[in-house]
Structure 1
Amino acid sequence: MITSTHPLNILVVEDNPSDYFLFSEYLRLSGLPIRELFHAQKLQEAADIAQEETPDLIFLDLTLPDSEGIQTFERLNAAVPHISIIVLSGVSDKDVALHTIALGAQDYLVKGEFDEKVLVKSIQYSIERKKILQKVVENYERYNTLIKATNDTIWDWDLRTNEILWNEGITTIFGFRPVDVQNTYEWYSQKIHPDDRERVLLKIEGCITEGKDQWEDEYRYLSGAGTYRFVFDRGYILRNDQHKPYRVIGAMMDITERKKMQEELVRSQIETQKLITQITIQTQEQERREIGRELHDNINQILATAKLCVDMALNDEDIRKELLTKSYDNISRAINEIRSLSKTLVPPSLGDIGLKEALLEMIENMTVSPELRIRIKANDHHIETLSNNKKLILYRIVQEQMNNIVKHARATHAEVELKTSRKKAHLVIKDNGIGFDPKQKAKGIGLNNIVSRVEMQNGNLEIISSSGQGCVLKVDIPL
């Protein structure tokens, strides 16, 4: 409210000198502090003064030399919408003055029917009403901007009338034509998927009757195209002083694409698990074949030779000693072969000897070409603080890749490097062999075993190779 300490700038738009003089006298008698009183006789002159001087209030006669009637107010209000306007009317244009109130005028005074007291009250109330209106407009614009900035469909449900108002999202997001949208609760509820409808409506009703402040749910909602969209909907329940609900304001978010991504992720995880299971079975079958071949082609032959020597020694005393010696040597060879095979199959005791020592022992027991030199770099002491499970994974990956290098790479140099960072264990295996094209070469059982082990640890695998350029295998496993 204006006080006596608030000097006013007032613009009076009046082309009749007598009416202007009388108005000036009433203004003087009112006792209001006036900083400056501007006077204009034409509408264009008034618009220029208002835009340049920005008065607190404008008194406007609707009948001017360059404009008349409703248009006088509309033109000036459009030019300075932030300034309060009080219409000065004659008795004959009282209805026109009332119309200007509907268009945004703050008040109207009929010439000859007001005094200084009415004038004071009209000035005070008009300026305050304009301030309040300006705040309402700013809040409304802020609300609309906020709604446009979100991809949600905003709805406003009046529980007293069962009317629901929608923002533009119901047309832009769900594809309904504006003429098809009905502002009723029944229209909204009928668009919920039949399988979800009863559950959703009962939950809404329960939240309202149980005194809760908010509600949320996921369900399927019909779009304008006739297809159902997955939505995440939530509403905030407003209550009066008696805690009686009277309004629910909410936002409906289209999560169809998110649902598709989640379903795709689940399918991908299932496929990955199937692949891991398949590779595990293939690995087991491959290991059985390797064991069978080793037993049949190598150890079985050695033991058969030893048995033959024993049989011959039993029947021939002359060469018995020589035959038993040969039998002893063959049995010793078989024992060594079985020991070597066992070390390949049975996980090493990494907690006792450490990962680096286990790798050195593994390479020492491998059948490696004399031309191939293998170097191990594992000086990071944090390697030995890894869990035994992660150590075993790294050990098996090195074992698989070293077998690949020995069998296929024709390399003369290979290097195994192990180190850690704050969040990962890093393994790099390099060789200078014949290399291959990772994009064209189908993965063998060895590489598949490596891939499955890395995936089970949620790690990353990178293979860098090309024909004649050797191969670099990089593995990162989260700690």
Structure 2
Amino acid sequence: MTKSIDGIIWQADADTLRFHHVGGSVGDILGYSAEDWLSADGFWQSKLHPEDADRIIETCTDLSRQRLPHRLTYRMIAADGRAVWLQDNVKVVEDGDHATLFGIMIDVTDFVEERQKLEATSLQNAHYRALYDLVPVAIWEEDWTDVLTELRRLRGQGVGDLAAHAHETPGFTQFMLDRLRVLAVNAGAVEMFRAANAAELVARAHEVFEAGQPNSVFLTALEAIFRGERRIEGVNRLRRLNGEPVHVQFRIALPGIEDREAHVVICEMDISAAHVANERLELITRATSDVIWDFDIPRDWLWASEGLQQNFGLDPAEMQGSLEKWTRRIHPDDIGGVMRQFDRILHEGADKWNQEYRFQTGDGTYVWVRDEGVILRNPAGEPVRMLGSLVDITERRKLEERLLQSHRIEAMGNLTGGMAHDFNNLLTVVMGNFEALEVSVGDDPEVRKNLDVANRALDRSARLISQLLSYARRQPMAAQAIDLDHLIAEMSHIIARTLGEQIEIKVKTAPGLWTCRTDPSQLESALLNLCINARDAMPEGGVLTIGLRNAEVEADSTPAVRGLAPGRYLVVSVTDTGHGMDEATRQSAFDPFFTTKGPGVGSGLGLSMVQGFAHQSQGIVDIRSQPGNGTQVEVFLPAIASAAPAESHPEATARTEHQGSGHILLVEDQDIVRDYMTGLLESLGYDVTASGTVDEAASLLASDTDFDLVFSDIVLPGGKSGLDLAKRVEVLRPDLPIIFTSGYHEAADGPGAKLQEGRNFLRKPFRRNELVTLLQRALPRD
């Protein structure tokens, strides 16, 4: 029993601390066997961490001799050299003059290390707060949430020129100023404005403005927010609480006008005296972790701070000297634009410089940086000196790119969802009318042939919408038995047209292929993604091979298929003769948004979506690749017992004769679909009352109790769906069956939908026989 306990169970003599028994997870936690523990005296003592040994042995000995229970936390050295934190809970059992220790050692390494991290973070935050109060500038933290609310209201009223509005509205600036709240100030602000403490300065913040003057800087900030700017800076004349004037240089990070909460930080530096400004600039330079640089333009001499080593792995001493040492580390694709901008601002009289570009670090990799500074000029206007900072913005650029990709995906999903709803509605009407034509045209072979071609085109249209939804990740898994030989053959012309003539396509299949069960549309999407990736890896052309084979996976299988349950799998592979990838790229290939393609070329989602499809199918994806030797991607899909695969292009099924009875409440907002469905249901023998909204349908249900069934679309106008109608039905007629339908598949798969296709849900487009089947199940004849 003790082997199942997640801890080391032990017994030892209370006087000698010699262990008599060791069990539980003895080998799992420290890697020593029970025999190691019991083979010699002092084993436990010898494995204690050197920093803990004396304290623990002394404490344990003292408490054991006093026959007192105890709990100790200490480290032991595991067999592999790791330091493992243990919590040792010890109980003393006395038997006459003799006593035995019973204990359990529990591995608490993760807990202790997490606690240490939290303590370190707390200490770091305390350091940041200390630095915050030590920085020799005034820092104001303000809440501008109500200010933004008022700005949005003005914009909604059509105000376009805020400055003109402020000029025409007496007291506007003060009105807006009353909307903000000062939350906190730092010690620098308290000192600069001669306040007794931070609380006093917060309470008397309005007094820092010159008496009788509107706060022009505040109005400037409001105008900048209105224009969409995110920062302003400049100089301002303010007043200390003792009445003395003070000139400050300020910088305000502005919120966006659409932000619902706005925590604004304002930094102000006292520039009343030149020596104060120089002193504070020096302190800020030493305090910041950014790279601070100073460029003597006439001497072509550049100096950079120690941040260059910390952030980019470059020795400042080696980088000191000519500007050329710096510019040769700018990415070749960026250097032209950077230098043109540099020359322009020097010769056009500008006093500020800022640029973003890629910069080579000490290990040869490139990172994105923001380089900004000020230009000092002599009385003749000639540039003589530049001072600025260099900040690594790589993570910010990545986040911006990922956010952009996410917005694109979301937009595509919304677009395709709406398209699917409307298009599938139309297909439902067209399919139904073609079915009616098939009955009325008789046996004319030429007409029947044309109708058959039209039916195939309709089925293909429905499948194309399904694939579009799959690409936009709005299509649920619709698994069915698939003949992959047939599917690949049907896709071959699409793949060839997509890849172009420069790619030679080969298909290799094995005899006796098994059948697999998955979603054919999503498989087609995954295969097309893999083929496009392979094409992009062969820009000069090459050979792409699509392979199909059976695979038997056993418990001790090779690493390529580890993680799969033992069993039979069908393997779909795509192999190219392209440039291949190194191990680091291969390991990251499935990460969302990871791409080796340039901006705007690849989203980094193709392989991630392929992997998601494989996992959803209870399979995996494996990549084999080496630089220069091409890439092979294999998708393992579970095989099933022999079953008749679904037809890729199903024929129109034989018309089922049906004559129903009963009163159906039809809820459909689109006129053309509602008219078609009314006619179809009436042709099947039902009485139909049609409505276009949830409220109208609920009103009909409340006033008429002879309805036998509700047939409702899910996506309806007015902010209410068919699922909302179902809740009303539960109250009004809890026994009334409901059949839902929708051309927007995601609507039927949302939280709480509880819909089952073939039982109470019919996907558009559908055929007459599918509708008949559900009606017969919902309204069986007596």
**Structure ID, larger Rg:** 1
Structure 1 or 2: larger helix share? 1
TM-score, normalised via structure 2 length:
0.25
TM-score, normalised via structure 1 length:
0.39
Tell me which of the two structures has the higher relative contact order, counting C-alpha pairs closer than 8 angstroms and 6 or more residues apart.
Answer: 1
